[in-house]
Structures are given as C-alpha cells and as structure tokens.
Structure 1
Amino acid sequence: MTGSALLSALAIGLGVGIVGRLVLPGPKAAPVWLTLALGVAAALLGSMTIRLFGVDVDHTFPRLLAQVGFAVPAVILGVVTAGRRGTGDATKP
C-alpha cells in the first residue's frame, strides 16, 4: 500500500467519523475515539479490498469510493449499536 493510500484512508476515516457523529440523530453512547477509529479502520479495509480486486491504488477515484463505501456503514453501525443498551442478562426473557 502506498503512502498516498494510507494518508487518504486516514483523512477519509477521520472525516467520515466526525461527520457521522454530527449527522446521526439521537444520543451518542459511542465515544468520539471509537467513531474515528472505526472510520479509519474501515477506510483502510476499503483500500485493501479494492487492491485485492486488482484495481491499482494509484487510481484515486476507485480507492476513495471504496474507502468511503466501507467507512460510512462502519461508523453508522458503530454509533447505532453503541447506543443500544441491553438488559445485562441474556438468559432472562
């Protein structure tokens, strides 16, 4: 993976994490660091996945599309699932 792919994954991940935290409605139980980490990790995963499909990472548009495509659902799922509170005991009906 090239340096530009890593930098773009970092920038996309942080941007999606911040925007996702601001845009999603309701109380935010997920800490800020979690949304940022999810965004960056998913953007890196998007870069690796697009590379596995044989797309050269020097092509900026497919790489950015994959990074955003992975980061957005990851941040949404992270914020939504962190906001859910369980009863604490899964065996009770």
Structure 2
Amino acid sequence: MTIESILGAIVIGAVIGVIGCLLLPGRQAIGLILTIVVGIVAALIGTAIAQVLGVATTDGIDWIELVMQVALAVVGVGLVAGLKRSRV
C-alpha cells in the first residue's frame, strides 16, 4: 500500500461515515471523529466483502461496493450510537 492509497481510504471512509450518519434517521449522539472512524472501518469491510463476492472492479465508481460500504456505515453508526446511549 502506498501513502496515496492509505490517504484515499481515509478520505473515502470519512465521507462514507458522514453519509451513513446522514442517512440514519434521528440524531446520533456520537462525535465527528467517531463517525469518521466508523466510516473508515465500514469502507474497509465493504471492500473486503465486495472482493469476496466477486464484485468486478471498474475504472469508474464501483456502485455496488459503494452501496455496501454506505449500508455498513449506517449499521455501524447506529450500533455505536446505541452503545454510547446505553452507557449514559
């Protein structure tokens, strides 16, 4: 992995985390940094799942992979917000 690919994964993960937070109804009691971390993890897991399922890599945007990543981000943000809410 190069520095550019790592930075790209962080930026894409951050965007996916924010999108996941916006798609989840209601207000989430988690901060921006935690949302970005959830997005990065969701992006990595979504990419791994897409590769296992044999989703073809294209030159442009891989829409199926992107949908998987955003769906995982929504679930992740919901879980983290629920866990944080139950602790308080």
- Structure 1 length normalisation: TM-score? 0.64
Asked if structure 2 preserves the Cα contact closer than 8 Å seen for 1:45 and 1:67, the reply is: yes
Letter in 1 for 2:48: M
- SS for the counterpart of 1:73 is helix
Aligned length: 81
Any stretches of 5+ residues in structure 1 without a counterpart? Answer: 87-93
Q: Secondary structure at the match of 1:84?
A: helix
Question: How far apart are the structure 1 equivalents of 2:51 and 2:69?
Answer: 11
Bigger Rg over Cα: 1
Q: Which protein is richer in helix relative to its size?
A: 2
User: CA RMSD, aligned part only?
Assistant: 3.1
Pick the aligned partner of 2:83 from 76, 81, 84. Answer: 81
Label 1:55 to 1:17 Cα distance change in 2 as closer, same or farther (>3 A): closer
Partner of 1:7: 8
Q: Residues 47 and 14 from structure 1, CA distance in 2 versus in 1: closer, same or farther, beyond 3 angstroms? A: same
Paired residues of 1:38 and 1:71 also in contact (CA < 8 A): yes
Equivalence map 1:9-24=2 (5 Å): 10-11=11-12, 13-19=13-19, 20=21, 24=26
Percent identical:
28
Contact 2:9 2:40 in 1 (8 A): no
Structure 2: give runs of 5+ residues left out of the alignment.
none
